[in-house]
């Protein structure tokens, strides 16, 4: 029995991505600065960030399995946000590094559990028109930009100590946005998953793909953990730091706007390879020339290729590798092993190398890891064919002319 096509809730999905990425825009650039303000050294900051990111390894897999079996992804998304909000309130208790580890462990477990499920839900709505993903996901990038730019200026006025209050306000907005999105009855899984999840995972191109994504994320460890501290050490203000972060995400928005064309014209492994090579260049520039604002502008302009293009191509490969019945688990594995474990390892080695070797050498290490990923990608990743729909897919309707038709690669 085949499900009929559900109307595309474009603005509801986009709104959730906007506020979800706004939380990340408060955490990624400024949380390391907040931890340093609280008295933690670089090694402790690396460990704390590793815990926050490492929870992606376990939580999405558990929740992905449950969501695939029930088809009620938004129930798990909302539950995750509520529990994450409750855990995050623990940051106001002064319990030292050990207590902060427990707080971030709880917050990260529930926060990271729901992201891949929303990705799977979005792809379910986009079944038969996957090129529309980047048009929806770009609103997350816009939310990140708005938060980074405004928060940098606000923190210059209020001080970094107020950062947790801003994050709690953003979490509340994510919660409100989650209630605008529903699990349409036509998207609930109505038949058992086709094939074995383990059998798909054991295919060599699939295994190599996940290892490559893991290395890509690990290479970003110095950037995700210490970029703001690196800039602050070279005299950049909070506003300047926010502007540099937002420049990178602005480039990402541009890539997402054009990604539907790129996916139709370029092989997915080629997009991944180009992204990895540019990533290596970017880390070399940041590590070596942080005292030169012009080069920092250039390095941040590469973010569209090093994150936006890579992520959009990777999401599409996951969609092709895994059948509908395994969509949640496939996204969870990508979010857990590739992003979660990769970021955790990246945060750990950056915290250790930052003190032992220095900032420049730590970024150079990230560049070497990106080059290793590029070699692996060149040798082993192959794109799966586009799955053929088993039922008609009428075109979407009612979308604003500004956005254009999501299912038309020539739009």
Confidence of residue 249 (pLDDT cuts 50, 70, 90): confident
- Return the pLDDT at 319: 79
Q: Which tops the pLDDT comparison, 403 or 112?
A: 112
Q: Average pLDDT, stretch 14-40?
A: 92
- Return the pLDDT at 361: 95
Q: What is the dihedral of CA 81, 82, 87, 88, to 10 degrees?
A: 60
In eight-state DSSP terms, residue 326 is G
Q: Average pLDDT, stretch 192-204?
A: 71
- Return the pLDDT at 57: 77
CA distance 237 to 35: 17
- Return the pLDDT at 343: 85
Give the whole-number percent of the chain exceeding pLDDT 70. Answer: 85
Q: Average pLDDT, stretch 171-199?
A: 73
pLDDT tens sequence across 375-395? 999 887 765 555 544 443 333
- Return the pLDDT at 169: 96
* Cβ 194 vs Cβ 323: under 8 Å: yes
Q: Which tops the pLDDT comparison, 193 or 143?
A: 143
Give 383-395 as a DSSP string.
PPPPPPPSS--PP
- Return the pLDDT at 1: 42
Q: Residue 286 pLDDT > 70, yes or no?
A: yes
In 89-203, where does DSSP find H-type helix?
96-125, 133-158, 163-178, 197-201
Give 45-57 as a DSSP string.
HHHHHHHHHHGGG
In eight-state DSSP terms, residue 308 is I
- Produce one character per residue of 212-237: b if its CB has 16 or more CB atoms within 10 Å, e if not: bbbbbbbbbbbbbbbbbbbbbeeebe
In eight-state DSSP terms, residue 90 is G
Confidence of residue 238 (pLDDT cuts 50, 70, 90): confident
Confidence of residue 190 (pLDDT cuts 50, 70, 90): very low
Three-class secondary structure of residue 62 per DSSP: helix
Q: Residue 124 pLDDT > 90, yes or no?
A: no
- The phi, psi pair for 116, rounded to 5°, reads -60, -30
CA distance 129 to 40: 47
- Return the pLDDT at 128: 64
Q: Average pLDDT, stretch 25-51?
A: 89
Radius of gyration for the chain, computed over Cα atoms and rounded to the nearest angstrom: 20
Q: Average pLDDT, stretch 303-310?
A: 86
Give 256-272 as a DSSP string.
HHHHHHHHHHS-HHHHH
- Return the pLDDT at 304: 86
| pLDDT mean across residues, the chain | 82
Q: Average pLDDT, stretch 281-304?
A: 95
- Return the pLDDT at 171: 96
Q: Residue 212 pLDDT > 70, yes or no?
A: yes
- The phi, psi pair for 282, rounded to 5°, reads -60, -45
Confidence of residue 367 (pLDDT cuts 50, 70, 90): very high
Give the whole-number percent of the chain exceeding pLDDT 90. Answer: 38
Domains of the chain: 10-180+200-380 (1.20.1250.20)
CA distance 345 to 350: 8
CA distance 291 to 385: 46
Closest CA to 376 of 302, 222, 272, 263: 272
pLDDT tens sequence across 76-120? 889 889 999 999 999 999 888 899 999 999 999 898 888 878 877
- Return the pLDDT at 386: 54
Q: Average pLDDT, stretch 168-186?
A: 86
């Amino acid at each position: 029995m085949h499900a009929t096509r559900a109307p595309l809730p474009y603005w509801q999905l986009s709104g959730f991505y906007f506020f979800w990425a706004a939380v990340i825009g408060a955490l990624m650039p400024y949380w390391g600065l907040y931890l340093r303000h609280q008295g933690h050294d670089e090694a402790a900051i690396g460990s704390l960030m590793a815990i926050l990111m490492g929870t992606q390894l376990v939580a999405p897999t558990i929740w992905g399995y449950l969501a695939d079996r029930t088809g009620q992804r938004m129930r798990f998304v909302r539950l995750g946000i509520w529990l994450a909000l409750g855990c995050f309130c623990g940051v106001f208790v002064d319990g030292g590094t050990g207590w902060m580890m427990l707080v971030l462990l709880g917050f990260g477990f529930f926060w990271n559990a729901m992201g891949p499920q929303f990705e799977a839900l979005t792809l379910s709505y986009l079944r038969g028109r996957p090129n529309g993903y980047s048009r929806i996901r770009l609103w997350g990038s816009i939310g990140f930009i708005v938060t980074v730019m405004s928060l940098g200026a606000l923190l210059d006025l209020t001080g970094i100590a107020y950062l947790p209050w801003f994050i709690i306000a953003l979490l509340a907005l994510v919660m409100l946005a989650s209630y605008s999105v529903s699990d349409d009855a036509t998207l609930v899984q109505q038949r058992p998953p086709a094939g074995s999840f383990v059998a798909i995972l054991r295919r060599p191109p699939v295994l190599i793909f996940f290892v490559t994504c893991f290395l890509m994320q690990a290479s970003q460890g110095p950037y995700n953990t210490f970029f703001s501290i690196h800039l602050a050490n070279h005299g950049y203000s909070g506003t300047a730091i926010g502007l540099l972060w937002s420049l990178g995400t602005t480039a990402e928005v541009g890539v997402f706007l054009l990604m539907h064309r790129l996916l139709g014209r370029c092989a997915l492994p080629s997009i991944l390879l180009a992204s990895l090579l540019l990533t290596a260049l970017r880390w070399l520039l940041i590590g070596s020339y942080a005292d030169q604002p012009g080069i920092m502008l250039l390095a941040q302009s590469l973010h569209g290729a090093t994150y936006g293009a890579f992520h959009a191509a990777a999401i599409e490969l996951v969609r092709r590798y895994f059948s509908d019945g395994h969509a949640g688990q496939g996204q969870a594995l990508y979010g857990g092993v590739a992003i979660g474990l990769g970021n955790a390892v990246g945060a750990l080695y950056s915290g250790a190398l930052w003190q032992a070797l220095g900032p420049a050498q730590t970024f150079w290490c990230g560049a070497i890891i990106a080059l290793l990923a590029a070699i692996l990608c060149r040798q082993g990743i192959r794109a799966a064919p586009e799955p053929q729909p088993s039922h008609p897919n009428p075109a979407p309707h009612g979308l604003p002319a500004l956005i254009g038709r999501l299912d038309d690669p020539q739009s």
